[in-house]
Amino acid sequence: MSLKVEEVRQIAANADCLFTRDQVEAALDRMAAAVTRDLQDRDPLVLCVMLGGLLPAAKLIERLQFPFQYDYLHATRYRGGTRGGDLYWITRPSMAVRDRCILVVDDILDEGLTLRAIVDYLRQEGAAEVRSAALVMKMHDRRPADSTVDYAGLEVPDRYVFGYGMDYKGYLRSAAGIYALRES
């Protein structure tokens, strides 16, 4: 479903800014410091979860000043909508994960189902260790207690958010901050 440009502009204009660009960049600095502390001597393979993880992963890896390899995977539950469904694999990692330390980077941890399936897959493929990072962690009680990330940048309320990789129906991923749809 394609939205009219004016509808997208209205969504953006009426959204609530939860975090400015500077606040998001500071969160990425904190995440990079923690990743560096933990993984700088592990020769990790950093995996970006497409599409949403593209911007957070790019901004995170530019801050990592140690040797690592970079690849991507593409698995989604949203497929352009605003509600998740079953996990759909588009592309699995092209680099071998067996016996590697893996860092999976995504845009948001909501219910954690997508990330859990990705982590389970990587473990089944023989990864020695799998760590995860999400720029945003949505705060609610629908996520199982064991569904978390090792590195989280920001916490947001239980609202539909977009910006810094997260989209609204395929649009607004490049918004310079984290925004929430205006509550009616």
CB distance 133 to 149 below 8 Å: yes
Q: Between β-strands 69-76 and 88-91, what pairing exists: parallel, antiparallel or unpaired?
A: antiparallel
User: If you average pLDDT over residues 135-149, what whole number do you get?
Assistant: 87
Span 26-51, average pLDDT:
98
Query: What pLDDT is attached to residue 1?
Result: 52
Share of the chain above pLDDT 70, in %: 94
Query: Measuring CA to CA, which residue among 36, 16, 15, 19 is closest to residue 27?
Result: 19
Residue 84: per-residue pLDDT: 59
What is the sign of the dihedral through the CA atoms of 70, 150, 76 and 87? positive
Cα–Cα distance measured from residue 16 to residue 70, given in angstroms and rounded to the nearest whole number: 34
Unique residue bearing structure tokens 């901004």: 59
